[in-house]
Amino acid sequence: MHDSDAQTFRLALESVREDIVAAVDAWRASGGSDDELALLVDGLHAEKPRVSAESRKQLELTIPAFDPELAIQLAKHPPGRVPAVVDLHDLVRRVVWIDLTPPYTW
C-alpha cells in the first residue's frame, strides 16, 4: 500500500474514533467478547464512514463483496487487538487491527 493510501485509512479511522469507541463499548455492554468482535467501517456509501460492531463470523457471512482473503486476515488476531474492516471509496478494502487499550490506536 502506498503511503498516501495508508494516510487516507488513518485519517478515515481518526474521523470516526468516537464511533469506534462507542461501538466497542456497546458490544461489550451487550456481553460480546473481544475475541469475537470485528468492526466494519463503511466509507463507501456515506460522507462520513459508518462504524458497526459484529461477530467475526457474522461479518464474514454478511459483508458485501466478500473476499476469501478476509477470513485469513481475521484469523491472525494479534493479542489485545480487534480487526476493523475498512472500505473506502476508490481504495482496496483493508483490515486494520485496533488496540483496545485506550486511546485505541491503529
pLDDT-derived band at 72, boundaries 50, 70, 90: confident
Is the distance from CB of 49 to CB of 18 less than 8 angstroms? no
More confident residue, 71 or 38: 38
Measured CA to CA, the distance from residue 99 to residue 66 in angstroms comes to: 24
**Domain spans, the chain:** 3-99
pLDDT-derived band at 1, boundaries 50, 70, 90: low
More confident residue, 34 or 2: 34
pLDDT digits (tens, 9 = 90+) for 35-68: 999 999 999 987 889 999 999 989 888 887 777 7
Predicted model pTM = 0.88
Mean pLDDT of 17-43: 95
pLDDT of 100 higher than 80: yes
Give every strand in the sheet of 94-99, ordered side by side.
50-55, 37-43, 81-88, 94-99
